[in-house]
Amino acid sequence: MKRRALLVGMLLLTSVLAAPQGLTNTHWELVSVKAGGVTSLAPGGLARPRVGFQRDASTILGFGGCNAYRAGFSVENKRLRVKDIIATKVACAHLELESKFFAVLGKASVFVATPGTLLVSSQDGDSLLFTRIRMQ
């Protein structure tokens, strides 16, 4: 718990110092999801959920850990709104984590971004912690 509090504190401090110019054209891999007070770490490798905020500034394309998905999004004053998540329906071993991921992403309300991390939170305290990835 102390480690997570320290990580969030560092994230907030660095966001003040070096926040990127919005989320457009950025790509992120999930590190952890906090839902209902329980934090779950994302699996490593290809099963790690990802989110990509596209150049058109209104579309997210990503991978939930099992299924590909698409959603709309908008950002205004550090408020993030994700809407209309549409995903494929493949059955996999990581569906519990993917379900939590989609649930928290769908109720996103605020984000804190640094050059290397993204914290997306909902009003009820659930959150997604990402690390930035570079797309080729």
What digits encode the pLDDT tens for the residues 17-38? 333 348 999 999 999 999 999 9
pLDDT value of residue 38: 96
Q: In this predicted model, which residue has the larger pLDDT, 78 or 133?
A: 133
3-state helix, strand, coil in the chain (%, to 5): 25, 45, 30
Global pTM value: 0.81
For residue 27, the SS3 value is strand
Ordered domains of the chain (ranges, CATH) = 2-133 (2.40.128.270)
Tens digits of residue pLDDT in 44-69: 888 899 999 998 879 999 999 999 99
Which stretches does DSSP call E strand in the chain? 26-35, 38-41, 50-53, 59-63, 68-76, 79-87, 108-113, 117-122, 127-133
Tens digits of residue pLDDT in 92-133: 876 899 999 999 999 999 999 999 999 999 999 999 999 999
pLDDT band at 3 (very low <50, low <70, confident <90, very high): low
